[in-house]
Amino acid sequence: MPPKRPAPKKKSAASASGGASHPQNNIGFLPPGASHPLSRKQQHHDPHQDDHGGHHQQDAFENRFELHFPVPARLRHVPNSLVEAVNDFHFAMMNDHPRNAFYYHLLKQHIVPGETGVLEIGAGSGLLSMMAARLGAKWVVAVEGSYEMAQLAKRNVKQNQLEGTVTVLHMLSTDLQKRDLPGTPDVLVSEIFGTLLLGESALDYIVDVRQRGIIDPHKTAILPQRGVQYAVPVHSDTLSQITTVQSWRDLNLSQVTRLQDSCSVVFTKQYGFRLSSMPYTCLATAPVELLRVDFSTSRPQDYKKQFPVRVTAREDGTAQAWMLYWVAEHDVLPPAAAAAETLEEAAKDRALIVDEARHVYYMSTKPEDTRDNFPRDMQWGQALQLIDCTQYKQGKNKAEEGVQMPSYLPMEKGATYEFNCSLSQDRVVMHLQYKKKVEEDDGKKAQKAAAATTTAEAAVEEKEAKE
Amino acid sequence: MPPKRPAPKKKSAASASGGASHPQNNIGFLPPGASHPLSRKQQHHDPHQDDHGGHHQQDAFENRFELHFPVPARLRHVPNSLVEAVNDFHFAMMNDHPRNAFYYHLLKQHIVPGETGVLEIGAGSGLLSMMAARLGAKWVVAVEGSYEMAQLAKRNVKQNQLEGTVTVLHMLSTDLQKRDLPGTPDVLVSEIFGTLLLGESALDYIVDVRQRGIIDPHKTAILPQRGVQYAVPVHSDTLSQITTVQSWRDLNLSQVTRLQDSCSVVFTKQYGFRLSSMPYTCLATAPVELLRVDFSTSRPQDYKKQFPVRVTAREDGTAQAWMLYWVAEHDVLPPAAAAAETLEEAAKDRALIVDEARHVYYMSTKPEDTRDNFPRDMQWGQALQLIDCTQYKQGKNKAEEGVQMPSYLPMEKGATYEFNCSLSQDRVVMHLQYKKKVEEDDGKKAQKAAAATTTAEAAVEEKEAKE
């Protein structure tokens, strides 16, 4: 009987080996509970039918327990995968009120009561679709890849008497056809972000409906508009306690540190702590932009597999790790259109920032935005990747190479350091490898070429400029 | 490529379906990386040989990453399972200094330099065995079930030049034979505790070597002597944010709460937070003892599969969950024997408590003992099981039954509540089900029968008394 709950499923990156990936378009993330048999591609699938119910019994929640353990009737026959997903992150997600408010204000801004058609992809239990219906949308189609989750969404819609407006379709959005919708959507809304911005392949799923004409780039507003994946080097002696071991009394334990994993991006939720319960210091003068995504215009091919990034230290300190977080934004329509009380409400809901006199609806996994938002930490949190600045030398043999030890990066105030960012083929995950401390001459050269080399955004812009 | 790290492996309970269990003696927990092919039982296995190396390549760490991701030489060919285990909890475990001190003082008390033979089971990277060697043990045998971990232990022993004293055997302790040891051990030491006291089948592994005469109950000191698994009901509005959802604005979301998992015991490390970062209140006048284990005398059959427990509220409040933690203890030999400076040192190391003028070496997962001990939270933390006090009625049909909602338990100051504790067959996990509020008359009856019904310990004692 496993009391063990696996690491967050929705919020984890897909694995080439273990996790599910989408057979189409090289999309890395397939939602939990979703399947994509080839038959579904060959023969158009009727998503209005309640199919895929056949696996209920074999996966029943009660089967996880010995017979003398009590399991209430409400859970007994429910698929285990649904119970796990809901308890792992759905309660947290639905209780993240600033998140809900962010989407509410976005929908409110774009819905004209009685006129607007809304498509949601990755609808989960249907909260955003129901918001759209309450805001007066003419029609709402909620697409959800997991059979069990779609059933739950239908129950929620019924409970709120919104069946007249909201249609829940059990399918992957990549299987959605124009004929499944009453018309071209005026609004496409989705919340398919992971602990990493593209950890659930948000861009790929949106590009898919863009390219197949399910939405009309000139007509359909995509909510939210854009997102940025940031990284910042951090110093934390506390983190060292679970990532390194040197000695205890007179016993040398350093052999164990050779096994330090400086390759994987690990979520705070996987480590098992909230960042607020681990003291740390940010060492950068400014966060590094790894990815800048405009969901209306960015294309997967805009992102390079490898690109250099530079970071300048704002104080002396040892950098143990890169800490990764993201920000999603959506412009507030010109002040004339947005009533003052709406903006006030959004600000109170912690879903608005005023950025250089520009009003922007805003949602992020910045540590300061999750510190007082327990549900957001439990849905997303942040990610960490350890920094190893050892310059590994080619050894004479495997044994000699294996003996070299990892080391954290000592940073000096004002100095600039170069890393190489590798992006996985499916953009679901990345890795930052230390290259060198930038010498002053390098620095001047770098400044000249700054637009071309410091951020992925720059790389994208440069590429677009050439086209 | 999976940046995802699965939930703690060593520290999770075994699963009847997914996780590994021991084919012998109904032992629930098999250590990660350990295998138990039947051939090993049929033909005695030579644990001094470096076998089982054949699977290295297929599980190599570098295979987790795309080719353009850099993986340092020190990790490239190392088995992924070893990297995962070390990064998941070994660094944390070895940096839990009060834990190390607890074992150091236990070993120091029982080792006579040049005379004492020590057996460690579940040696991991060998720290406790090396401590024993440094303290002057005549010989130390460290038994470790995982091939890769045993290799790491051997490297540590070599690094500290203790090969003359410490022998690392790659095998399960259940395969250990008398002929594998230089003699009968004077000391058996082990740290095979999980987030739950018996989550790694500590009692079963110790009973196995007790019963097969590998150790001599009259001669061998078992370190530590005993442990207690406690549970206490807690109130936490913060916890409710990730275990229940009611509504957002005017949308009713309560359907989702029907899927609340009030059956599983979930570790804080699996939820992804430290208890210190989630405000809560303990509601009981005293913690409930679920299991009391004396590693020298307790037997698996002493524990009932089901038994009642009672808890009295020390204040009004809604109990959302049972919080589970354990305490391990070992008596300090009479003060005359233990030098004052040793006790002072142990106290400074947070490995000693003075309990009613009795000195006891002490290690626990009480929240107050992990709050300022980040590594202990990252190795163990605590466990939570949600409380559902709905009295489910037999419905006319499945649909009617499924519709009933869970509810937390409102507790009144001074009132007593009865729960039924179910223990899994392998004692790895338990469940507490609400039965009733104890009426005053019940209370008086209960007081009379208190010794027989309030704790598992009582149940055990009663049973033993009858025998």
Check residue B28 and give its pLDDT: 76
The beta-carbon neighbor of A261 closest among B6, B87, B92 is: B87
Tens of pLDDT along chain B (467 residues) come to 223 333 333 433 333 333 455 655 567 777 766 765 443 333 444 555 544 444 445 689 999 999 999 999 999 989 998 899 899 999 999 999 999 999 999 999 999 999 999 999 999 999 999 999 999 999 999 999 999 899 999 999 999 999 999 999 999 999 999 999 999 999 999 999 999 999 999 999 999 999 999 999 899 999 999 999 999 999 999 999 999 999 999 999 999 999 999 999 999 999 999 999 999 999 999 999 999 999 999 999 999 999 999 999 999 999 999 999 999 999 998 765 677 888 888 888 888 887 767 789 999 999 999 999 999 999 999 999 999 999 887 766 666 666 789 999 999 999 999 999 999 999 999 999 999 999 876 656 655 555 444 444 444 444 444 43
Asked if B67 has any chain A CB less than 8 Å from its own CB, the reply is: no
From chain B, the residues in CB contact with A90 under 8 A are: 245, 256
Q: Which residues of chain A have pLDDT under 50?
A: 1-19, 37-45, 50-56, 451-467
Picking from B270, B260, B189, the residue whose alpha carbon sits closest to that of residue B408 is B260
d(CA A210, CA A190): 13
With beta carbons less than 8 A apart as the criterion, state whether B126 and B151 touch: no
Residues from chain A that touch B305, judged by Cβ atoms under 8 A, are: 68
**Minimum-distance CB partner of A251 among B127, B251, B402:** B127
> Do A156 and B253 count as a contact with CB atoms less than 8 A apart?
yes
Q: Tell me the ipTM for this assembly.
A: 0.87
What pLDDT score was predicted for residue B3? 31
Q: Residue B421: which residues within 8 A CB-CB, separation 6 or more?
A: B290, B306, B307, B308, B309, B430, B431, B432, B433, B456
Q: Which of residues 120-149 of A touch B (CB under 8 A)?
A: 125, 127, 130-131, 134
Contacts of B390 in chain A (CB under 8 A): 72
Closest CB to A277 among B276, B392, B405:
B276
B255-294, pLDDT tens digit by residue? 999 999 999 999 999 999 999 999 999 999 999 999 999 9
Chain A, nearest residue to B380 by Cα: A272
pLDDT for position B88: 92
How far is B132 from chain A, CA to nearest CA, in Å?
11
Cross-chain residue pair B69–A398, CB shorter than 8 Å: no
Of the candidates B326, B322, B333, B186, which has an alpha carbon nearest to the alpha carbon of residue B262? B322
Cβ contact A390–B274 (<8 Å):
no
Closest-CA residue of A relative to B243 is: A91
Q: Is A12 on the interface with B (CB under 8 A)?
A: yes
CA distance B436 to B457: 22
Rounded Cα–Cα distance for residues B51 and A441 (Å):
54
B chain contacts of residue A271, beta-carbon cutoff 8 Å? 5, 272, 378
- Per CATH, the number for A77-191 is 3.40.50.150
pLDDT of amino acid A460: 45
Helix (H, G, I), strand (E, B) or coil at A179: helix
CATH architecture of the domain B226-333+343-394+405-448 equals: Distorted Sandwich (2.70)
Q: How far is CA A359 from CA A110, A332, A351, A355, in A?
A: 16, 6, 11, 6
A315: amino acid identity, one letter: E
Residue A123, classed as helix, strand or coil, is coil
pLDDT tens profile A134-175: 999 999 999 999 998 999 999 999 999 999 999 999 999 999
Residues 6+ apart with CB under 8 A from A230: A287, A288, A289, A290, A324, A325, A326, A327
Distance of alpha carbon B117 from the chain centroid: 26
- Give yes or no for A397 touching B (CB within 8 A): no
B344 is catalytic: no
Best of A63, A74, A166 to substitute, by most chain B Cβ atoms within 10 angstroms, is A74
Helix-, strand-, coil-residue percentages of chain B, each rounded to 5: 30, 25, 45
pTM: 0.88
**Domain spans of chain B?**
77-191, 226-333+343-394+405-448
pLDDT at B59: 85
Query: In 3-state terms, what secondary structure has residue A458?
Result: helix
* Measured distance between the N- and C-terminal CA atoms of chain B, rounded to whole angstroms: 58
Between residues 307 and 366 of chain A, which touch chain B (CB distance below 8 Å)? none
Q: How far is CA A29 from CA A228, A301, B5, B165, in A?
A: 19, 17, 16, 52
B108-136 burial, b for 16+ CB within 10 Å, e for fewer?
bbbbeeeebbbbbbbbbbbbbbbbbbbbe
CA atoms within 13 A on the CB side of B33: 27
What tokens appear for B162 in the block? 């203790």
Distance CA A434, CA A387 (A): 7
Contacts with B107 from chain A: Cβ below 8 Å: none
Catalytic residue among B191, B329, B368, B462: B191
Confirm or reject contact between B416 and chain A (CB < 8 A): no
Q: How far is A455 from chain B (nearest CA, A)?
A: 19
Q: Which residues in chain B are closer than 8 Å to A401, comparing Cβ atoms? A: 73-74
Q: How far apart are CA B306 and CA B316, in angstroms?
A: 28
- Position A33 scores a pLDDT of 65
